């Protein structure tokens, strides 16, 4: 649904985006993750046909955004980092205005307006001035303007930035509810955003794609073993050696006087055997907690390696 090939964008001497390529399938939610200044906004503006690259190609929903920018905008809904809202308008008047400039035929406008207000949950504030809305509601109105022409593809630039935790949860749920019917690419510099919302991740750093994979695929890159934390009810003395000898355990590290970090091969679940060894050795078991490799580990590693 989205195919990007060799995009490069220079601002004068400075290369903001360099040879960026990726693909996103129909109905997916993809996260475009990278530190500030990585080139996310630049790439998204190119995809949305608001910025022309120096090199490369972007095809969205079968439309080449460089050859046919107007055609591309018809099938793309774009939510910029700062939503283009007008404070002095009511929600309803603003969306009517957007429907008009997006050339939605007059006969269809009311139906589209109702449908989109219902979809993003702003029906109850349609008569309110945009100036008086909370940030969460403003972002919903931003989503509504992106959705009003029922685009196949949604491009959302940092859609939860500046929201409080409750609002973030609501907007995430809303975005998830839109996947399937729409193909979505959202940018973020916040790691949990991607793990909570997306199926696929494209990591960008200093204008270059450093990884592009599913979440599970990315985790596999750095995950060589399963590990878990073991906490017992009295000091370890002697237990560490006993755990080390449990079949399948590859590494044991003392974290503090009552807890151990235990590692095993990927395909082996040694927790039962470890627990039995703890009891048989006369210790009580307080905690046995798997430690999952997070996307953060992957992200930090990928962007750090790039720097080194």
Interface residues with Mg ion (CB under 5 A)?
Answer: 40-41
Q: Is 53 in the site for ligand ADP (CB under 6 A)?
A: no
Stretch that binds ligand ADP, among 38-46, 52-60, 172-180, 242-250 (CB under 6 A): 38-46
Residue closest to Mg ion (Cβ): 41
Residue in 248, 295, 250, 254 with CA at minimum distance from that of residue 273: 248
Residue 52 neighbours by CB distance under 10 Å: 11
Residue 282 is a binding residue for ligand ADP (CB under 6 A): no
Q: Per CB under 6 A, which region of 34-42, 82-90, 96-104, 219-227 contacts ligand ADP?
A: 34-42
The widest CA-to-CA distance across the chain, in whole angstroms, is: 80
Determine the Cα–Cα distance for residues 241 and 258; give it in Å rounded to an integer.
14
CB 183 within 8 A of CB 25: yes
Specify the DSSP class assigned to residue 125.
G
Q: Is residue 145 a contact residue for ligand ADP (CB under 6 A)?
A: no
Distance between CA atoms of 295 and 200, rounded to whole angstroms?
Answer: 11
Report the Cα 275 to chain-centroid distance in Å. Answer: 37
CB of 51 to ligand ADP, least distance (A): 9
- Closer to ligand ADP by Cβ: residue 42 or 139: 42
**Residue 303 interacting with ligand ADP (CB under 6 A):** no
Q: Which stretch binds ligand ADP (CB under 6 A): 31-39, 64-72, 221-229, 264-272?
A: 31-39
Among Mg ion, ligand ADP, none, the one that 42 touches (CB under a kind-dependent 5 to 8 A) is ligand ADP
Q: Where are the alpha helices (DSSP H) in 48-164?
A: 69-75, 91-101, 106-120, 135-147
User: Taking a C-beta distance cutoff of 8 angstroms, is the pair 101, 148 a contact?
Assistant: no
- Using CB under 6 A, count the residues that bind ligand ADP: 11
Residue 119 in the binding site for ligand ADP (CB under 6 A): no
Q: How far is the CB of 205 from ligand ADP (least distance, A)?
A: 9
Pick the piece of the chain touching ligand ADP (CB under 6 A) from 29-37, 65-73, 131-139, 275-283.
Answer: 29-37
Instruction: List the single partner that 138 binds among ligand ADP, Mg ion, none, CB under 5 to 8 Å by kind.
Output: none
Pairing mode of beta strands 259-265, 249-256: antiparallel
Question: Rounded to an integer, what distance in angstroms lies between the CA atom of residue 308 and that of residue 151?
Answer: 41
CA 169 to chain CA mean position, Å: 13
Which of 20, 38, 99, 163 binds ligand ADP (CB under 6 A)? It is 38
Tokens read off for 22: 């990726």
- Residue 163 interacts with, from Mg ion, ligand ADP, none (CB under 5-8 Å by kind): none
- List residues near ligand ADP by CB under 6 A: 11, 14, 16, 34, 36-42
């Amino acid at each position: 649904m989205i195919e990007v090939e060799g995009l490069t964008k220079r601002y004068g001497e400075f290369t903001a985006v360099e040879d960026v390529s990726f693909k996103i399938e129909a109905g997916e939610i993809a996260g475009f993750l990278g530190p500030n200044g990585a080139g996310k906004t630049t790439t998204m503006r190119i995809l949305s046909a608001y910025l022309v690259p120096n090199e490369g190609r972007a095809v969205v929903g079968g439309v080449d955004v460089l050859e046919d920018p107007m055609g591309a905008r018809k099938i793309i809904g774009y939510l910029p980092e700062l939503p283009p809202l007008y404070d002095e308008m009511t929600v309803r008047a603003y969306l009517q205005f957007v429907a008009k400039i997006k050339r939605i035929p007059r006969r269809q406008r009311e139906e589209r307006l109702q449908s989109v207000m219902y979809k993003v949950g702003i029906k109850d504030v349609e008569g309110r001035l945009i100036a008086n809305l909370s940030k969460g509601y403003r972002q919903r109105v931003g989503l509504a303007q992106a959705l009003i022409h029922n685009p196949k593809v949604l491009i959302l630039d940092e859609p939860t930035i500046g929201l409080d935790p409750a609002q973030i949860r609501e907007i995430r749920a809303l975005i998830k509810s839109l996947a399937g019917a729409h193909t979505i690419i959202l940018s973020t510099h916040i790691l949990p955003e991607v793990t909570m919302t997306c199926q696929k991740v494209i990591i960008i750093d200093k204008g270059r794609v450093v990884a592009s994979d599913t979440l599970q695929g990315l985790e596999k890159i750095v995950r060589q073993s399963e590990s878990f934390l073991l906490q017992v009810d009295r000091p370890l003395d002697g237990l560490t050696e006993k755990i080390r000898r449990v079949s399948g355990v590859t590494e044991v590290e003392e974290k503090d006087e009552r807890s151990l970090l235990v590692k095993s091969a990927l395909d082996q679940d040694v927790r039962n055997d470890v627990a039995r060894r703890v009891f048989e050795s006369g210790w009580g078991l307080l905690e046995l907690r798997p430690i999952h490799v997070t996307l953060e580990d992957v992200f930090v590693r990928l962007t750090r390696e790039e720097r080194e």
